[in-house]
Amino acid sequence: MAFQDSTEEVKEVWTTLEFISSIIGHIIWPITMLIIFWIFRKHFSNIMNKLSGIDATATGISLKFDQEIDEAIGENLTEQTPRLIAKQAMKIGEKRPSFKEVTPYHQMMNIRDGLNHRIILKAQENDISSQNKTNIDLKDELLKAEAISFQQAKLFQTLLQLTNSNFTNITQSQVNKVKLLYSNLKL
């Protein structure tokens, strides 16, 4: 009888250990993932900020948009940061001018219009006809005539691609990055 009791006790202990092992097996991966997310939360936060503009119907346009901006900023910004100078200061007691609120999308369209204007002016300065030519054609001719550098042409091409994307859900942060690139374009 003592022999049978000890065998049953071993079976009970063994089943209890198997039960504990199966629970640990089911719980360990979620706990491991939580620990990984906790350790790398800052990195995941940066990634999530990149993905914040994607909706269910998008194919990653916002993420691609951020990557293009970040790459262009990395390639084109010099060590000097641009100085902002106020063109007009307000006097005490003067009424504030009323500004029409402009969406980030409209700001991108204004940058695109500015790009069009700048490339046409540069072409005219170099006696290049802009009749029936796209901005890319003008950029190529200016590059061929050595009126602009390869770096300027590349930055212009990048800005043109960014401003021609019809992604209406862009953020102000993205527009500010594009504005910074636009201010560094020397045409």
- For the cut 50, the answer to whether the pLDDT of residue 174 exceeds it is yes
Same domain, 26 and 65: no
Position 56 scores a pLDDT of 45
- Provide the 3-class DSSP secondary structure of residue 170: coil
Average pLDDT over residues 166-174: 78
- Please determine, for residue 91, whether its predicted confidence score (pLDDT) is greater than 60: no
Q: Which DSSP helix (H) or strand (E) runs through 163? A: helix 150-164
pLDDT band at 78 (very low <50, low <70, confident <90, very high): very low
- Residue 170 is predicted with a pLDDT of 79
Confidence of residue 1 (pLDDT cuts 50, 70, 90): very low
* Residue 93, domain member (yes or no): no
Residue 146 lies in a domain: yes
- Whether residue 110 is predicted with pLDDT greater than 50 in this model: the reply is yes
Are both 35 and 120 inside the same structural domain? Answer: no
Same domain, 68 and 21: no
- Per-residue pLDDT reduced to its tens digit, 19-72: 998 888 889 888 998 898 889 888 777 666 555 444 444 444 445 556 666 666
Most confident of 7-11, 77-81, 83-87, 106-110: 106-110
Q: Are 148 and 178 within one domain?
A: yes
Q: Who wins on pLDDT, 49 or 161?
A: 161
Q: What value, to the nearest 5°, has the Cα angle with vertex 35 and ends 32 and 38? A: 150
Quick one: pLDDT at residue 13?
A: 83
Domain that holds residue 111: 61-77+102-183
What percentage of residues in the chain have a pLDDT greater than 90? Answer: 2
Whole-number Å distance between alpha carbons of 74 and 177? 11
Per-residue pLDDT at 5 exceeds 70: no
Number of domains in the chain: 2
| Whether residues 70 and 23 fall in one domain | no
Mean pLDDT for the stretch of residues 79-84: 44
